[in-house]
């Protein structure tokens, strides 16, 4: 009898310690509208992992979703008219690009705040345990934070970015953190540091200030008296940063600024049979993959540059896989084009030698994750910074669309293919990126759950967040000390002159006699 009781106790103990800890299911709203397709896919992946962790996610977006789950609700407010669908090569002119963005604010904002589904979500926003949005140009959705008591979570999709990081009070040193719009990496010369500081000033006090004024002015139509919309960014409990120190170089971050870089990367899957046969036919030469991602269409490449690439491909022994959206080129037999391609499955293929890319943040990360050297041809925005960083790390060669020639392309590709130091450096970087104690997805989910569990985790908030920038760098203290030092100097001088005059009589100025 005693042996039976002992057996029951043993079974009970085993069950007690093997039953998994129950995780509370949270209701989460993700509101992400003014973003590119590739960034949208990144957010969708975060939503998918939250759902797989037993949470309910309502995704307010401009896209239909192929992901279906009982706990996932996709609310597409754009009805087949997503934002930013023009020619990406027209965005080289930053002023023209922001003019286009301003027009999108009115179009997307009107769709958003007059959409009946969104109105219901807004009225019931307090039912959500957390709201997730981006720390960028997505402030059109920030009215959701009005009187909201749950945690606001930001996603910084472009990696470490100076002003998005500063919303939490973390003013990173501009001497080592390049502006998102400058073609610099973290190792800047004196001249580059000067230009970087000037660009940061212009970016914040010019472009971003006018952007927030534009959005605030528009939102006044729906929320009278809302004021400066960007102030809501300062309420964020957590910022998930699409970066990693092996990608962006180390920078000092706060406890509530968490890196989740390469969350979009995954182990490659087998290629479709026809694509695999084309790759296999390349023999020892391998393949070169050319894609401008979802940011730009290769069919929109300026005609002169397009012809230079076609001519370069004719001279190469490698097979070329090109994401190209039209059928208007006379291509050599070693080039295969498709309007869509499984990018990571190609990058992860052992025969892939080089990735020709515009160096968007997602493509740059995937190239490093899979260990593929890059021929960078940046177009606009952060792409020049990403390319400069990869060139400095000696894992890429960069060319300009304005001056590129077939000879330059062939020479660069031959170097990237034949100089094994490029792929060797990337193998080391890839090993670092894949050697983490938990996956970026698990890290993101855990931190979202953490700030919800702890009521926004106010213990993680940085006291420097309440300070003005001039207070943060002690400019007011330095000015006060300078004034005090000057006053002490003047007082000491007056006292000294008083005692000199008292002891020796008033010193009269000498008069020069003129003959």
CA distance 268 to 266: 6
Q: What is the pLDDT of residues 148-201, one digit of tens each?
A: 889 999 998 888 887 778 888 888 888 888 888 888 888 889 999 999 899 888
Predicted confidence band of residue 11 (pLDDT cuts 50, 70, 90):
very low
Residue 438 Ramachandran class (φ > 0 left, ψ -120 to 50 alpha, else beta): beta
Return the bridge partners of 154, or none: 133, 239
Mean pLDDT (the chain, rounded): 85
Query: How is residue 21 annotated by DSSP?
Result: P
Residues 6+ apart with CB under 8 A from 98: 207, 210, 211
CA distance 230 to 167: 9
CB 169 within 8 A of CB 466: yes
Residue 490 or 138, more confident: 490
Coil, strand or helix at 443: helix
Mean pLDDT calculated for residue range 277-295: 91
CA distance 285 to 152: 50
Mean pLDDT calculated for residue range 341-353: 94
Coil, strand or helix at 30: strand
Mean pLDDT check: name the lowest of 90-99, 335-344, 377-386, 416-425.
90-99
Mean pLDDT calculated for residue range 31-38: 77
In 10 A of CB 137, how many CB atoms? 19
Mean pLDDT calculated for residue range 299-306: 89
Residue 82 or 443, more confident: 443
Please state the three-class secondary structure of 291-360 as a single string.
ECCCCCCHHHCCHHHHHHHHHHHHCCCCEEEEECCCCCCCCCCCEEEECCCCHHHHHCCCCEEEEEECCC
Q: What is the pLDDT of residue 81?
A: 64
Domains of the chain plus CATH, in order, are 27-263+439-466 (3.40.50.2000), 273-433 (3.40.50.2000)
CA distance 196 to 184: 8
Residue 36 or 347, more confident: 347
CA distance 141 to 168: 19
Strand order in the sheet with 352-357: 335-338, 319-323, 287-291, 352-357, 374-376, 396-398
With 70 as the cut, is the pLDDT of residue 8 above it? no
Picking from 321, 360, 327, the residue whose alpha carbon sits closest to that of residue 341 is: 321
Helix (H) or strand (E) holding 259: strand 257-259
Residue tagged 């996709």 (tokens): 74
With 50 as the cut, is the pLDDT of residue 9 above it? no
Mean pLDDT calculated for residue range 292-309: 88
Share of the chain above pLDDT 90, in %: 44
With 60 as the cut, is the pLDDT of residue 290 above it? yes
């Amino acid at each position: 009898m005693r042996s039976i009781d002992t057996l029951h106790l043993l079974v009970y103990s085993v069950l007690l310690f093997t039953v998994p800890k129950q995780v509370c299911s949270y209701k989460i709203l993700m509101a992400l509208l003014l973003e590119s397709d590739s960034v949208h896919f990144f957010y969708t992946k975060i939503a998918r992992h939250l759902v797989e962790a037993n949470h309910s996610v309502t995704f307010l977006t401009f896209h239909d979703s192929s992901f279906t789950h009982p706990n996932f609700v996709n609310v597409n407010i754009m009805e087949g008219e997503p934002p930013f669908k023009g020619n990406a090569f027209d965005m080289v002119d930053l002023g023209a690009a922001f003019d286009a963005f301003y027009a999108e604010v009115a179009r997307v904002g009107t769709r958003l705040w007059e959409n009946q589904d969104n109105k219901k979500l807004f009225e019931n926003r307090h039912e959500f345990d957390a709201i997730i949005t981006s720390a960028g140009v997505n402030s059109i959705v920030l009215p959701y934070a009005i009187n909201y008591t749950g945690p606001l979570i930001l996603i910084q999709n472009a990696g470490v970015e100076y002003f998005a990081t500063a919303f939490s009070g973390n003013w990173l040193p501009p001497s080592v953190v390049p502006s998102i719009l400058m073609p610099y990496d973290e190792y800047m010369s004196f001249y580059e540091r000067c230009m970087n500081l000037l660009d940061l000033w212009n970016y914040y006090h010019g472009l971003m200030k006018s952007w927030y004024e534009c959005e605030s002015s528009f939102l006044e139509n729906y929320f009278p008296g809302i004021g400066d919309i960007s102030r809501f960014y300062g309420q964020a409990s957590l910022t998930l940063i699409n970066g990693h120190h092996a990608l962006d170089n180390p920078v000092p971050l706060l406890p509530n600024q968490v890196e989740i870089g390469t969350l979009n990367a995954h182990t490659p899957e087998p290629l479709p049979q026809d694509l695999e046969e084309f790759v296999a036919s390349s023999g020892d030469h391998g393949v070169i993959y050319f894609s401008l991602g979802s940011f730009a269409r290769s069919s929109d490449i300026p005609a002169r540059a397009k012809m230079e690439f076609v001519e370069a491909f004719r001279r190469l022994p490698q097979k070329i896989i090109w994401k190209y959206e039209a059928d208007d080129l006379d291509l050599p037999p070693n080039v295969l084009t498709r309007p869509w391609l499984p990018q990571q499955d190609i990058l992860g293929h052992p025969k892939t030698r080089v990735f020709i890319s515009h160096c968007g943040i997602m493509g740059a990360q995937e190239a490093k994750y899979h260990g593929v050297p890059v021929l960078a041809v940046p177009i606009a925005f952060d792409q020049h910074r990403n390319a400069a960083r990869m060139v400095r790390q000696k894992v890429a060669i960069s060319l300009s669309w304005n001056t590129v020639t077939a000879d330059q392309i062939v020479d660069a590709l031959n170097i990237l293919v034949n100089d094994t130091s490029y792929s060797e450096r990337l193998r080391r970087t890839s090993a670092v990126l894949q050697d983490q104690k938990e996956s970026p997805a698990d890290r993101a989910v855990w931190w979202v759950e953490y700030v919800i569990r702890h009521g926004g985790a106010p213990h993680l908030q940085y006291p420097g967040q309440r300070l003005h920038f001039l207070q943060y760098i002690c400019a007011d203290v330095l000015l006060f000390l300078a004034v005090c030092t000057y006053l002490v100097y003047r007082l000491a001088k007056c006292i000294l002159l008083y005692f000199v005059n008292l002891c020796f009589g008033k010193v009269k100025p000498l008069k020069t006699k003129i003959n």
